[in-house]
């Protein structure tokens, strides 16, 4: 049940963020599905491990692969799909706690939260990097296959 609720709320938050950032309407459904599936991957991996790197890495990899495929299908730039999908994964609360700790003089806690934020950001970036590297080889094949099919 937790996964289903996570899927629904992640879909809604992704689509809502897409509306707020004014992405084209034709990208809202694919980005919503991609963001929701990435959140499900995040939840499943987080339940299986106590690591903070692996769930974020695999969720970013999921976004990267699905968004690239959807971008080709709907003929849109992949960045229009990336931006809304990331809203569920960005560690906003942790960076807030880090800044709050610095302002209150709790440097040890603030540095710990800052390190956690940077670790999550790096794992997201590496996940996207791996997805782009994989998809750079698949993109011409997929485009050729879609052109032949239509």
pLDDT of the chain, 150 residues: tens digit per residue: 889 999 999 999 999 999 999 999 999 999 999 999 999 999 999 999 989 999 999 999 999 999 999 998 899 999 999 999 999 899 999 999 999 999 999 999 999 999 999 999 999 999 999 999 998 888 788 777 877 776
Q: What is the DSSP letter of 78?
A: T
Vertex 120: Cα angle to 115 and 123 (nearest 5): 125
Output the pLDDT for position 150: 63
**3-class DSSP assignment, residue 103:** helix
Among 140, 114, 109, 10, CA closest to 62: 10
Among 136, 87, 93, CA closest to 116: 93
Output the pLDDT for position 147: 75
């Amino acid at each position: 049940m937790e996964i289903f609720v996570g899927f629904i709320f992640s879909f809604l938050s992704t689509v809502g963020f897409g509306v707020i950032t004014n992405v084209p309407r034709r990208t809202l459904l694919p980005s919503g599905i991609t963001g929701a599936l990435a959140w499900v991957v995040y939840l499943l991996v987080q339940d299986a491990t106590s690591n903070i790197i692996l769930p974020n890495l695999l969720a970013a990899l999921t976004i990267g692969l699905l968004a690239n495929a959807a971008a080709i299908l709907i003929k849109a730039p992949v960045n229009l799909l990336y931006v809304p999908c990331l809203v569920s994964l960005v560690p906003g609360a942790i960076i807030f706690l880090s800044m709050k700790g610095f302002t209150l003089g709790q440097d040890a806690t603030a540095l710990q939260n800052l390190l956690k934020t940077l670790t999550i950001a790096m794992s997201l970036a590496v996940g996207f990097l791996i997805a782009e590297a994989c998809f750079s080889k698949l993109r011409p094949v997929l485009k050729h296959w879609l052109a032949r099919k239509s």
